[in-house]
């Protein structure tokens, strides 16, 4: 028999059970990449994570005969609901053994939690901010997870979710560009040249990490304003903007961060990161004593780079800014001489311009993360 326990986030033992459950579920899975403990525990810390300042989250464990077999979080994102005039709940942190009874019990806990708050729809997986990956991986399980930017799960997960009555809401597709496609297509090159000739938009080249950090606040503001028309958008609080920017800047190489300026204002950006998935797997969640050193060394060793975060302010879209960003990043990647594989991660199918860009850049779709919806 399966029972459901609501996690007391002040109870260290229960929090540890919630955070550590995936290690058992993916014990024999070479593709799974564990999150850093500092991040995983922070998400359950109601005093530290900025999302808890404005919204409600509860965490649940499924237990069978004294053994944890699944987990899930129920989320009410109040700024999202207010902005979109909706009454939705989200589920996230969903992990479960191939156990239909446990999966049903977990989702019933989310449904009951949501109904008690007057919410009428459950969507997910959808987390506590833009740094949390979206969706259930519906194909591409044979490929290693891209750090913790993308969700990863076993191939049986979609069937457990769909059995609860969930239907597709939106797909987030990831593409790769192999080494022989690094050369920017001629069409993109021509658009870039026209944009540069007009002189309205310019690419900012950062000399070092210190200079990048000086632009952090402006980048954060642009990040918050660039996605107002996206399906997943909600206005971030200043604490959330700071939280996102701090996380990005911690792992950023200044050469792989591109921004577009217009009269000294940041109007577009593209973030790329060294893929240090292998080092994260070896660290097993721990930065110390050797995890951090290994991650820094992996930045020099890895031949993969992940592009995760590209946006242009709505009023500057359609003027070639996207081509300018791709051109600048393409040249930088060639200059590195280190990378043979580029991944463009989790592009929503609703972002028509981005999907068109991926085709123009010869991107090959190889992962698909699906977000589901159910009326309750």
Per residue in 51-79, pLDDT tens? 999 999 999 999 999 999 999 999 999 99
DSSP 8-class letter at 35: P
Rounded to whole angstroms, how far apart are CA atoms 50 and 58?
Answer: 15
| Alpha-helical regions (H) of the chain | 12-25, 37-42, 78-84, 100-116, 157-162, 186-198, 209-214, 216-226, 238-251, 277-283, 291-301, 321-336, 352-360
Contacts of 291 (CB under 8 A, 6+ apart): 36, 279, 282, 283, 284
The whole-number average pLDDT for the span 35-64 is: 97
Give the pLDDT confidence of 247-283 residue by residue, as tens digits.
888 889 999 999 999 988 999 999 999 999 999 999 9
State residue 168's pLDDT score. 97
Contacts of 107 (CB under 8 A, 6+ apart): 72, 91, 122, 161, 164
State residue 58's pLDDT score. 98
> Is the per-residue pLDDT at 204 higher than 70?
yes
Rounded to whole angstroms, how far apart are CA atoms 321 and 308?
Answer: 17
The band of 115, judged by pLDDT with boundaries at 50, 70 and 90, is very high
> Is the per-residue pLDDT at 237 higher than 70?
yes
State residue 350's pLDDT score. 75
Mean pLDDT of the chain: 92
Helices and strands of the chain, counted as H and E runs: 13, 13
User: Where is pLDDT greater, at 363 or 71?
Assistant: 71
The whole-number average pLDDT for the span 313-321 is: 86
DSSP result, 276-328 = -HHHHHHHTT--TTTHHHHHHHHHHH--EEEEEEEEE-GGGTTSSHHHHHHHH
State residue 263's pLDDT score. 86
């Amino acid at each position: 028999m399966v029972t459901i326990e609501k996690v007391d986030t002040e109870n260290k033992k229960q929090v540890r059970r919630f955070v550590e459950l995936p290690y058992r579920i993916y014990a024999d899975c070479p593709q799974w990449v564990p999150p850093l403990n500092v991040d995983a525990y922070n998400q359950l810390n109601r005093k530290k994570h900025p999302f808890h300042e404005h919204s409600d989250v509860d965490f649940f464990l499924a237990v069978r005969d004294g053994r944890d077999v699944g987990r899930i979080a129920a989320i009410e994102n109040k700024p999202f609901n207010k902005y979109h005039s909706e009454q939705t709940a989200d589920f996230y942190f969903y992990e479960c053994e191939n156990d239909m009874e446990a999966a049903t019990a977990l989702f019933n806990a989310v449904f009951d939690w949501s109904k008690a708050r007057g919410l009428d729809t459950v969507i997910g997986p959808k987390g506590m901010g833009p740094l949390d990956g979206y969706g259930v991986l519906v194909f591409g399980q044979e490929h290693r997870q891209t750090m913790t930017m993308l969700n990863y799960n076993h191939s049986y997960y979609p069937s457990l979710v769909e059995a609860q009555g969930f239907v597709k809401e939106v797909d987030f597709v990831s593409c790769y560009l192999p080494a022989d496609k690094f050369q920017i297509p001629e069409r993109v090159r021509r658009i870039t040249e026209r944009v540069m000739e007009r002189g309205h938009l310019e690419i900012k080249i950062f000399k070092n990490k210190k200079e990048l950090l000086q632009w952090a606040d402006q980048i954060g503001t642009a990040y918050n304003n660039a996605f107002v028309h996206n399906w997943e958008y909600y206005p971030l609080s200043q604490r959330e903007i700071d939280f996102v920017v701090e996380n990005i800047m911690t792992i950023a190489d200044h050469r792989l961060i591109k921004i577009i300026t217009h009269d000294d204002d940041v109007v577009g950006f593209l973030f790329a990161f060294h893929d240090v998935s292998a080092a994260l797997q070896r660290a097993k969640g721990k930065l110390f004593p050797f995890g951090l050193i290994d991650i820094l060394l992996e930045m020099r060793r890895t031949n993969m780079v992940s592009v995760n975060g590209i946006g242009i302010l709505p009023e500057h879209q359609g003027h070639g800014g996207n081509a300018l960003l791709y051109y600048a990043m393409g040249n930088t990647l060639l200059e590195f001489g280190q990378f043979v594989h580029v991944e463009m991660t989790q592009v929503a199918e609703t972002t028509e311009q981005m999907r068109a860009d991926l085709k123009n850049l010869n991107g090959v779709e190889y992962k698909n993360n699906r977000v589901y919806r159910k009326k309750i």
